[in-house]
Every structure is written in structure tokens, then in C-alpha cells.
Structure 1
Amino acid sequence: MKKKILIVDDDPRNIFALKLTLKAKGYDVASSLSGQDAIAMLSNDSDIKVVLMDMMMPDMDGYQTMKIIRETEPVSKTVIIAVTAQAMPEDREKCLEAGADAYVTKPINVDILLNTIEKLS
């Protein structure tokens, strides 16, 4: 079994599609509909190696969630890939400054995502 990936997205349809794709590639996949739930899951499951973080969520967005993860031991070093429909150069910088290790845009190019996961984890 490959690495365990946590998908954080407030839209169950996005989770469903991404989960199918990643499972087909042999990854163990967990999912969360909110930043707070994602932080709890990370704290309770040391097998999660990569987080795919939707940046635009209600309540706690991806920026806030990443900041908390980066400040929380022992999960502060978890690989986080920001996933966003925002594709402006300043958005990429904002994601990286907030704690993302990488950045992919929606609609997700699966090859780019898989290469990014393998490169970082």
C-alpha cells in the first residue's frame, strides 16, 4: 500500500472524484469536509503523510487550517499540497507562504498531482 493521503474539501463531489483516482493508483485515502476535522484526523492518525488542502472552505479556510497544522507538533512537518481554483501567481505565493509545500489548480491535472505527491513524500 502506498502513502496515506488526507483530502480536505468542503465539496463531497470533489472528494469522491479525487478519492476514486487516488485509490485506483494504490493510495490509502481518508477525507475531511472541514479544516477542524482535518486537524483532528491528522493528530489521531500518524499514517497520514500527505494532505490535499482545498483553500476555499467556509468556517476555517485552507490558509487558517495550514497555519494551525504548521504550529501543531507532531503533525507540523506533514506534506501539504494546496488545491485551489484560484490560479493567479499571487495566489500560489499566498499558499506557499501560508505553509503549503506545493500548489495545484482545479480542475486537477492528475498527472501533475501524482508527480507532486511522489516528489514531496
Structure 2
Amino acid sequence: MEHKQVLIIDDDTRNIFALKAVLNSRNIACLSATTAAEGLQLLEQDHQVGVVLMDIMMPDMDGYETIAALRANTKNRRLPVIAVTAQAMVGDREKCLEAGADNYISKPIDVDVLLAQIQQYLSV
């Protein structure tokens, strides 16, 4: 797992800080972006990203649009994306999956569930 990184795209730096703290404590390397554009730019560079944690509710370009842009690049079509969102209403999970996410987790995040999802993708 140490060769692949997790890219966190979230407009709230507090969320990024908390996620990085949890992942780094498990020796999972992280990159982060506070805008969709910055996240997409990081993916264009060669950072060995193994999974993306995508916040859905972001200003300018939301997570759904960002996932679509990410998937439009053939290089990223198979890159695992976990939608991370406070949206936990009926149908929100399905909406994220239809937008191209591979998995979904709602806030507040269950750390054990998130780690299991990430490890599933990074160990492949």
C-alpha cells in the first residue's frame, strides 16, 4: 500500500486534516486538493494515486461533475473513487454510483468502514 496514494478532494480543510491524520496513522500516503480543478490537475501528474476520496458537496464544480470529468480521461476510467458526503438520504448512494463513483460513505465517517474500502482498492 505504501506505493499508492489516496487523493482527498474536499473543499473543507478540516475534513482533509482529519482524513489525512487517520490515513497517515495507518501508513497510507495522501495528497489533497480543496477544489475539483486542483484535484483533476493532481491526477494529471504522476502521483501514483490508487484511490480518490471525493467530497460531493463542493462549490463551483461539485463531486458529481468532478467524477464525470475524471472519468472522461481514459487514464482515470478505472481509478477507484469513493464518494464521501453528508448526503445520506434515500437515493443518495445510488446517485453517487450512477455518477461514476465505485463506492460511497456518508459523514460522519465510520473510520473502520472507510479503511476497509480504501484497503480493498489499494491491495488490488
Both proteins in one fold, TM over 0.5: yes
| 8 Å Cα contact 2:50-2:121 kept in structure 1 | no
- Taking structure 2 as the reference length, the TM-score comes to 0.93
Query: What is the match of residue 100 of structure 2?
Result: 99
| 8 Å Cα contact 1:2-1:26 kept in structure 2 | no
Q: Which moved more, 1:68-77 or 1:8-17?
A: 68-77
In the TM superposition, structure 1's runs of 4+ consecutive aligned residues that sit over 3 Å from their partners are none
1:57-76 paired onto structure 2 within 5 Å: 57-76=58-77
1:1-121 paired onto structure 2 within 5 Å: 1=2, 3-121=4-122
Q: Which moved more, 1:101-110 or 1:40-49?
A: 40-49
For 1:34, the aligned partner's letter is T
State the aligned residue count. Answer: 121
For 1:18, the aligned partner's letter is L
Q: Which moved more, 1:17-26 or 1:70-79?
A: 70-79
Structure 2 residues without counterparts, runs of 5 or longer: none
CA deviations 1:6-65 (Å, max 9, x no partner) are 000000000001001100001110000011111110111240110000000000000000
- What's the RMSD between the two structures over aligned residues? 1.1
Q: Distance in 2 between matches of 1:120 and 1:39?
A: 19
Percent of pairs with identical residues:
50
SS of the counterpart of 2:76?
coil
- Taking structure 1 as the reference length, the TM-score comes to 0.95
| 8 Å Cα contact 2:3-2:48 kept in structure 1 | no
Shift of 1:118: 1.6
